[in-house]
Structure 1
């Protein structure tokens, strides 16, 4: 947990969702202790290793150097205390200390360098498979919205991942489907480890993953071709969401405006 957490007003963030259809009551908060961050890292490990086949070792924890500079959103079941969803957020001051965004390990991002001081980067999103009906995802997005409003941030970047367990055909097909949402040239990034989409099928019937759908509903743009992440066995699509270009309907719905 970096020192900024103790003095930044956005750390008052707290949202609660009443139980729906007799489901559990959920809340979203920012992690305040190392133990709470560890809960998020354990959830990430379980989901990424089981669903994506990521090779994360045997520690039972997904962690990297970026975690210490990020804020960690937690969705918690208030009845059991279990963390069932998480999203990590790298604010501009954290990226400045690191001298990079996490996404720069995968993409050349020179064209959006000018946005750095007003941009938060989100990543490591995951929700327990028993809680993907919508409430947890809505709370995560609402938490991000409140975080951005309290911090005065204007842009959000993040990667949406698609498993490559099928050899990459679904990812290539999704990229073709996302063509209408491609960002203008001045906002595009370029993968360092490019997925060879021209060698893959692009006619697979694929429904965009929930995270991609969420981005698109808000008005986000796809910043170019996906990067191939061999460690997580995924194709990663860079997404850019600018508050002044958001869909007003969904901006109000999630609390961005």
Structure 2
């Protein structure tokens, strides 16, 4: 399968597909820095994914990266990173092309919101070029303690749970079953302050999440399975995303 994505530039940033071993090593180095891992951040998924790089055009500094794993449909979900942590049997009947987005990170010294905008623009271009019908992945909260995120999880329960036909089941040994355990009404302001920026954008687009979070002590994160059906994105949001592409 040939993966395609046009080069994209907007303002001071440009996004492109990695096309050399050096590009992939640069992405791994940025991930190691951003995730603060003790050893270089790489795994066998790196060899079968497309890697998208966002550079500052003036300095050529790598400021953001993520990887995309293309699947022809739900029958291939066992190949995904997420399948290690979630029982995705309910999604195996999805017939459209799917892409798993993973290892998303922004350089810790760069805080420009335009970086996230062009990253989503690059994802949009990738989805359009490759006729993708569902985007999915694991959306991570920093750390493994749930107390600081209870309002965020309460909001996920109240507004953003996956449709029953797609709902992932528990597979990982250590999970926080927030949908079953939480009875609180979310404080919207606190919830949005604690919501990871990438997940917040998924939700604005109409994304949905699993009813439990996986406690990943190796990566020092809590993460929820997140899905976004491309056909369900509101037209107004699609126009905003494609405006970045130009």
Is the Cα contact below 8 Å between 1:72 and 1:89 reproduced in 2? yes
SS in 2 for 1:124: strand
How high is the TM-score relative to the length of structure 2?
0.86
Find runs of 4+ consecutive structure 1 residues off by over 4 angstroms.
Answer: 93-99, 196-204
Corresponding residue of 1:182: 161
> Which of residues 5, 10, 15 in structure 2 aligns to 1:17?
10
Is 1:235 aligned to residue 222 of structure 2?
yes
Corresponding residue of 1:135: 114
Corresponding residue of 1:63: 42
Is 1:218 aligned to residue 197 of structure 2?
no
- Distance in structure 2 (CA, Å) of the matches to 1:110 and 1:210: 28
The number of residues matched between the two structures is: 235
Is the Cα contact below 8 Å between 1:26 and 1:136 reproduced in 2? yes
SS in 2 for 1:130: coil
Corresponding residue of 1:164: 143
Judge which range, 63-72 or 155-164, deviates more.
Answer: 155-164
SS in 1 for 2:79: coil
How high is the TM-score relative to the length of structure 1?
0.82
- Distance in structure 1 (CA, Å) of the matches to 2:13 and 2:72: 30
Is the Cα contact below 8 Å between 1:69 and 1:95 reproduced in 2? no
Change in CA separation of 1:201 and 1:130 when aligned onto 2, cut-off 3 Å: farther
Corresponding residue of 1:21: none
- Distance in structure 2 (CA, Å) of the matches to 1:126 and 1:196: 26
Is 1:103 aligned to residue 92 of structure 2?
no
The CA RMSD measured in Å over matched residues stands at 2.6
